[in-house]
Structure 1
């Protein structure tokens, strides 16, 4: 039996009691994904995560064996953030969260830093394509806007 076969993963709405676990996942996943963002995963960025993003977005978590391993933030049909704990990356949990968002909203959009090649590859495998690009003035980094149309039967 494969190592992950015995694990049970559930996608559910974020609850206030998930805050510490969700911020931990964000911190451990966001720092390595965005090494070009000063203070990513800590300090002022962590405060914003707790006080703004977790409060105002429609958040979903993936929980494996009772532990939060991924966080998805939605602003209507836009993915505002997807963070998967390093130990859960490659297990399909990120894909499941994106497909959950698609089931809720149909077509999806998101922005990703051009330098975040891992995320760009992940989203390309899920059918996202570049629609536009802009410079994030706060960090002087190129952001790509990606879109994925709604589909009837995406495997």
Structure 2
């Protein structure tokens, strides 16, 4: 999730659509930009590795993009039970992009889903909690790649 999505104005020209393989390079750019602008632990992978990772997962999970003026400014990648990625480009944060993507995930999975968020990413935690996700578990981060404390959040309809 991104840092400043907790309550800005809605955007009327926002379009959501399923991602296509040609979107992968832009998704990687959005992810890195959002991570760099957030209070998350630093990413451990350069652009080409993030791009390869997203491409390798394409088709095994559902991925939707958010576009403003035909430009991808955010995306969500999720499975039946997990929201794996929700990133919004810093210049589009606080404009309803993250909320629209999260609402889409909720609509696609009305029985609920889970996600992990870093303890340090307070803006993302506030964003998710304001939209009905609740804390289920905290860890010391020993099992994540960044080795940073994290929180398992759950949304139940």
**TM-score (normalised: structure 1):** 0.82
Q: Quick check: 1:121 aligned with 2:126?
A: yes
Task: Tell me which of 32, 56, 61 is aligned to 1:57.
Answer: 61
Hey, what does 2:32 align to over in structure 1?
27
1:81 paired with 2:85, answer: yes
When residues 136 and 28 of structure 1 are mapped into structure 2, their CA distance, relative to the original with a 3 A threshold, is same
1:73 offset after TM fit, Å? 0.7
> What is the count of residue pairs matched by the alignment?
146
Taking CA–CA contacts closer than 8 Å with sequence separation of 6 or more, which of the two structures ends up with the larger relative contact order? 2
Which one has a larger percent helix, Structure 1 or Structure 2?
Answer: 1
Q: Which has the larger radius of gyration?
A: 1
Distance 1:67 1:47, change over 3 A: closer
Instruction: Indicate the residue corresponding to 2:107 in structure 1.
Output: 103
Offset, 1:115: 0.8
Instruction: Kindly report the root-mean-square deviation, in angstroms, between the aligned alpha carbons of the 2 structures.
Output: 2.2
- TM-score normalised to the size of structure 2? 0.82
TM-aligned CA deviation for residue 54 of structure 1: 3.9
Whether the aligned pair in 1 keeps the contact of 2:136 and 2:151 (CA below 8 Å) is yes
Q: 1:35–1:79: structure 2 CA closer, same or farther, 3 Å change rule?
A: closer
2:151 maps to: 144
Deviations 1:15-71 (A, max 9, x none): 01111211111111022225523535x257525533434453211100111010101
Quick check: 1:10–1:62 contact (8 Å CA) kept in 2? yes
Check the 8 A contact 1:77/1:101 in 2, yes or no: no
Tell me if the contact between 1:73 and 1:82 (Cα under 8 Å) persists in the aligned partners.
yes
In 2: Cα distance, 1:108 partner to 1:24 partner:
26
In 1, the alpha carbon distance for the partners of 2:116 and 2:37 equals 17
Distance 2:50 2:126 in 1: 26
